[in-house]
A and B are shown apart, each in its own frame.
Chain A
Amino acid sequence: MTHPFSRRTAAVALAAGLVLAGAAGCSSGSGGGEGSTTLRVTLANHVWTDEIKAAIPDFEASSGLTIELTQLGEDQLSAQYNTKLNAGTDEIDVMMYRPLQEGKLFAGNGWLADLGDRVESNAEWDWSDFQPGPVEATTVDGTITGVPIITEREVLYYRTDLLAEVGLSVPTTMEELEAAAKAIHEAHPEIAGFVARTNVSAAVTQFSSFLYSYGGDWVDSSGKASVDTPEAIAAYEMYSGLLHDYGPENLSTDMSWPDAMAVFTQGNAAFYTEADSLYKNATDTTESKVYDKVGFAPLPAGPAGSKPYNIPSWALGVNAASENADNAWKFIEWATSKEMSMTIQQEGVPSARTSVWDDPEGIATYPADLAEAIAVSAENGVGHDRPVVVRVAEAREIVGMPIVVGITGGDVAAEAAKAQTSFESFLESDA
């Protein structure tokens, strides 16, 4: 035995190493026990988040809590929830999520805590102040799973200068929209008459308002698929036809809102239908080349009138596995308070609180025509902008196909019939 020490050390180190490796594998990483003062908040990239972030130091000072903020893009956020919550993590306390995209699924998975008692606990915070539509969207099977923070409606963005040049007034019907897009595109071939989202999935929400305005919906009153009705086909043809005939040159079917918005803000399109909550991108004096030439109008009416969606795009929920739920609720209460809602709405992010909309202060910072368009849309609005199902992503790809086929000049009616068959069998399997 020449080196007893080194051999022994090696053995002990090995054993220790194995034990540690095992422990690391088993540890669930429960860092914050009941009432930990560190609160882990996961938010999406959004103007709303920027405003909240700026105000967090105030909240930390008044509550004595430390906020650990994770901020992610939409898709990364979704992937993050998928991986972490699947593993039953308690490392997320407050979660920003999309009620219409993931709400049903997350609630079904048991990932969202029941907030029923909490929302009623503070009369001053006032749950009844939240608009009924958004509240319905964050309530799953009678359980309140989230507090809506951002609402949006589809409106028409347009270029005041181009419209004036061709001597037309702001379109109030789909036919007028098409005529105006055509006139401007003919006068300026390099400028698109119309732009909107073109990606199969991203376009679905913006197309939904066209669908409703033509008198259609994803499903009929008995819950059966209805994407090949004459109304639906007419709507598909209008949306995709506008893009195919008067859209940007070399149009790709990859455009989500940042791409479509860029076309508009670079001055390359006359009309653009998009969510009102994104209007700051178009009126921003540094980012937008057309900030002083942007007008807003309610969505032009189809045969069934002007029926844009009016939905809560984001909500705050509490991770059901969080061990810090009380503090998580404190944060939500603060972030969705009347004062914060007012401040954030004045920065351009539409709130879900009735009082904020009723107060003239709430829309004082908005362009007057936008405020008017929002008011009209809120009145006629439909409460969903995509099929109301559990597997939303899959459904969007099915009902979006006729849009992209139309954009590329294909047979919309045939594709709608195909989509109908797929959507029917999808609905049967969607539990």
Chain B
Amino acid sequence: MPSAVSSHTSTAPTASTAERLSRWVNRHRMWVFAAPAMAFVTVLIVFPLVWTLYLSVTDSAGSVSRAKNFVGAENYTSVLTDTERFWPAVGRTAYFTIGALVLELIFGMLIALLLWKPFKGEKWVRIAVILPLVATPVAIGMMWRLIFDPNIGFANYLLSQIGLGPYPWLASETMALPTLIFVDVWQWTPMVVLILLAGLTSLPEEPHEAAKVDGASGWKQFWWVTLPMLMPTAIAAVLLRAIDALKTFDILYATKGKGGGSFHEVETLNVYAYGLSFDYFDYGTASTVLILFFIIIMLIVALLTTRRKVAS
């Protein structure tokens, strides 16, 4: 072996160093090709996570560059015993997510079944259905805030035409969250429709035909043939929507503002964590809430993916 030619002494790599580099790359190609992705994951996922974890065991407040003390599990015990803000926020997050998810699945399935078989004007109906999906969430929040205004809003005007109302909608402590579930359903059902429709179109014809020949009714065909075959797709839709719904922030903040309203009536975990860091400047507690939230999401994802494996 000739003595090593150090590459930094020459401005351009010589043929032999280039050769050697290329051999090295070839030998380690598994790592080299994965490197950008690994760097990406480290910088954008692992670092924030580790940093958040670190902040969650400190009393960091005011500014992250201020001196902070290690407080161990203190933040965790105080958050987990907090029945004023934390647990109600967990409850609201679950309520919002489950409420929105169930309705989106039901409506999504109905619309997908309607669009499954070709009909006249199908193209236009499909476009109309996905419209809410392409609008900006904050703009949607502002729009529904106007529609649901108790005094000048369109919703109450419409209901007054058939002798109902007026309802306080977002202005009411108890009605605000259900109203926002409605908005979420309005916006995200189209996505469920798209996913389920893709699943439906890929289903084989034969089982349906066999069921028809055997004299199964439409409902029985759906329940015993279509639905089981569609299950993996449906669970994928649930997974995607559940994660999104858990993390919903924009429509909540755009309609009710800081702290989810004066009584924290729509304060979910995400809104709470945002308030802790951006209004209260309490990074220690905010990080604790986020870590706990992260754990909750991971548990749900794990649960759903095992369900999905079983289903498929």
* Interface status of A393 (Cβ within 8 A of chain B): yes
Contact call B25/A11, Cβ cutoff below 8 A? yes
Q: Nearest residue in A to B64 (C-beta to C-beta)?
A: A86
Interface window among A14-22, A47-55, A274-282, A288-296: A14-22
Contact call A14/B63, Cβ cutoff below 8 A? no
* Interface status of A251 (Cβ within 8 A of chain B): yes
Contact call A251/B171, Cβ cutoff below 8 A? yes
**B77: shortest Cβ distance to chain A, in Å?**
16
**Known contacts A82-B278, A391-B280; A249/B22 CB under 8 A:** no
Contact call B22/A11, Cβ cutoff below 8 A? yes
In addition to A8-B22, A10-B25, A109-B66, 10 A-B residue pairs with Cβ atoms within 8 Å of each other are A86-B64, A108-B62, A109-B63, A198-B262, A201-B262, A248-B151, A253-B261, A254-B262, A400-B262, A404-B262
In Å, the complex CA distance between A294 and B293 comes to: 50
**B41: shortest Cβ distance to chain A, in Å?**
12
Q: Nearest residue in B to A393 (C-beta to C-beta)?
A: B279
Q: Nearest residue in A to B40 (C-beta to C-beta)?
A: A21
Contact call B35/A14, Cβ cutoff below 8 A? yes
Tally of contacts, chain A with chain B, CB under 8 A: 101
Contact call B278/A79, Cβ cutoff below 8 A? yes
Interface residues of A, CB < 8 Å — how many?
Answer: 43
- CB < 8 Å: which of A249, A250, A256 contacts B257? A256
- CB < 8 Å: which of A7, A391, A408 contacts B26? A7
In Å, the complex CA distance between A110 and B66 comes to: 9
In Å, the complex CA distance between A404 and B222 comes to: 51
In Å, the complex CA distance between A110 and B277 comes to: 18
Contact call B173/A408, Cβ cutoff below 8 A? yes
Contact call A7/B25, Cβ cutoff below 8 A? yes
* Interface status of A111 (Cβ within 8 A of chain B): yes
In Å, the complex CA distance between A201 and B261 comes to: 10
**B44: shortest Cβ distance to chain A, in Å?**
10
Q: Which residues in chain B, 156-212, are within 8 Å of chain A measured between CB atoms?
A: 166, 168, 170-173
Listed A/B pairs (17) with beta-carbon separation below 8 Å: A11-B21, A17-B36, A18-B36, A18-B39, A25-B43, A75-B258, A86-B64, A88-B65, A108-B66, A109-B65, A109-B66, A200-B259, A200-B262, A250-B171, A253-B173, A254-B257, A393-B258
- CB < 8 Å: which of A4, A251, A253, A256 contacts B22? A4
In Å, the complex CA distance between A111 and B22 comes to: 49
In Å, the complex CA distance between A326 and B62 comes to: 27
* Interface status of B281 (Cβ within 8 A of chain A): yes
In Å, the complex CA distance between A110 and B32 comes to: 43
**B58: shortest Cβ distance to chain A, in Å?**
14
In Å, the complex CA distance between A232 and B176 comes to: 30
Q: Which residues in chain B, 253-305, are within 8 Å of chain A measured between CB atoms?
A: 256-259, 261-263, 277-282
Residues of the A chain whose Cβ atoms lie less than 8 Å from the Cβ of B108: none
Contact call A7/B22, Cβ cutoff below 8 A? yes
Residue of B35, B63, B282 ringed by the most chain A CB atoms within 10 A = B63
Q: Nearest residue in B to A104 (C-beta to C-beta)?
A: B62
Q: Nearest residue in A to B66 (C-beta to C-beta)?
A: A109
**A378: shortest Cβ distance to chain B, in Å?**
31
Contact call B63/A110, Cβ cutoff below 8 A? yes
Q: Which residues in chain B, 14-55, are within 8 Å of chain A measured between CB atoms?
A: 18-19, 21-22, 25-26, 32, 35-36, 39, 43
Q: Nearest residue in B to A86 (C-beta to C-beta)?
A: B64
Q: Which residues in chain A, 65-111, are within 8 Å of chain B measured between CB atoms?
A: 75, 78-79, 82, 85-86, 88, 105, 108-111
* Interface status of B150 (Cβ within 8 A of chain A): yes
**B20: shortest Cβ distance to chain A, in Å?**
10
Interface residues of B, CB < 8 Å — how many?
Answer: 39
Contact call A254/B22, Cβ cutoff below 8 A? no
**B168: shortest Cβ distance to chain A, in Å?**
5
Residues of the B chain whose Cβ atoms lie less than 8 Å from the Cβ of A7: 22, 25-26
Contact call B280/A111, Cβ cutoff below 8 A? no
**A13: shortest Cβ distance to chain B, in Å?**
11
In Å, the complex CA distance between A164 and B263 comes to: 38
- CB < 8 Å: which of A10, A86, A201 contacts B65? A86
In Å, the complex CA distance between A105 and B19 comes to: 58
Residues of the B chain whose Cβ atoms lie less than 8 Å from the Cβ of A408: 173
Contact call B151/A8, Cβ cutoff below 8 A? no
- CB < 8 Å: which of B256, B257, B281 contacts A82? B281
Contact call A8/B21, Cβ cutoff below 8 A? yes
Contact call B32/A14, Cβ cutoff below 8 A? yes
In Å, the complex CA distance between A4 and B279 comes to: 57
Contact with A along B235-268 (1 / 0, CB 8 A): 0000000000000000000001111011100000
**Known contacts A249-B150, A254-B170; A105/B62 CB under 8 A:** yes
Residue of A17, A86, A198, A201 ringed by the most chain B CB atoms within 10 A = A86
Residue of A18, A249, A393 ringed by the most chain B CB atoms within 10 A = A393
* Interface status of A245 (Cβ within 8 A of chain B): no
In Å, the complex CA distance between A82 and B280 comes to: 11
Residues of the B chain whose Cβ atoms lie less than 8 Å from the Cβ of A108: 62-63, 66
Q: Nearest residue in B to A83 (C-beta to C-beta)?
A: B278
In Å, the complex CA distance between A88 and B151 comes to: 46
In Å, the complex CA distance between A99 and B35 comes to: 48
In Å, the complex CA distance between A85 and B32 comes to: 36
- CB < 8 Å: which of A21, A252, A394 contacts B170? A252
**Known contacts A110-B63, A393-B279; A249/B35 CB under 8 A:** no
In Å, the complex CA distance between A36 and B277 comes to: 33
- CB < 8 Å: which of A18, A250, A251, A390 contacts B62? A390
Contact call A250/B168, Cβ cutoff below 8 A? yes
In Å, the complex CA distance between A8 and B22 comes to: 6
In Å, the complex CA distance between A391 and B62 comes to: 8
In Å, the complex CA distance between A88 and B63 comes to: 10
Residues of the B chain whose Cβ atoms lie less than 8 Å from the Cβ of A136: none
Residues of the B chain whose Cβ atoms lie less than 8 Å from the Cβ of A252: 150, 168, 170-172
